[in-house]
Amino acid sequence: MGALSILLIAVGAVLTFALERDAEGINLDTVGIILMVVGAIGLVVSLLRGSMVGFSSTRERRTSADGRTVVERDRTSGI
């Protein structure tokens, strides 16, 4: 989602600031601003989701009754 958000921001900026053409029936500046806002919202959501869910690390260790390690597992998530 992060790469798509950056692409939306870039396309919106081009439509708003770099394009000097007029399209009949549509305001390209408004379309560009809408794309930049949607891209910014998507980028913020992507960053929040990544910091809350995606970048976690868990270590699990279970031992038997006599003290030997039965299961030792490291789990890292890179969503």
The pLDDT of residue 53: 53
CA distance 45 to 67: 45
Q: In the chain, where are the structural domains located?
A: 2-78
The pLDDT of residue 78: 56
The pLDDT of residue 57: 67
What is the value of pTM for the model shown? 0.62
Closest CA to 10 of 30, 40, 36: 36
Closest CA to 45 of 77, 9, 8, 5: 5
Q: Tell me the average confidence (pLDDT) per consecutive run of 10 residues in the chain, 79 residues long.
A: 88 93 90 96 86 62 74 63
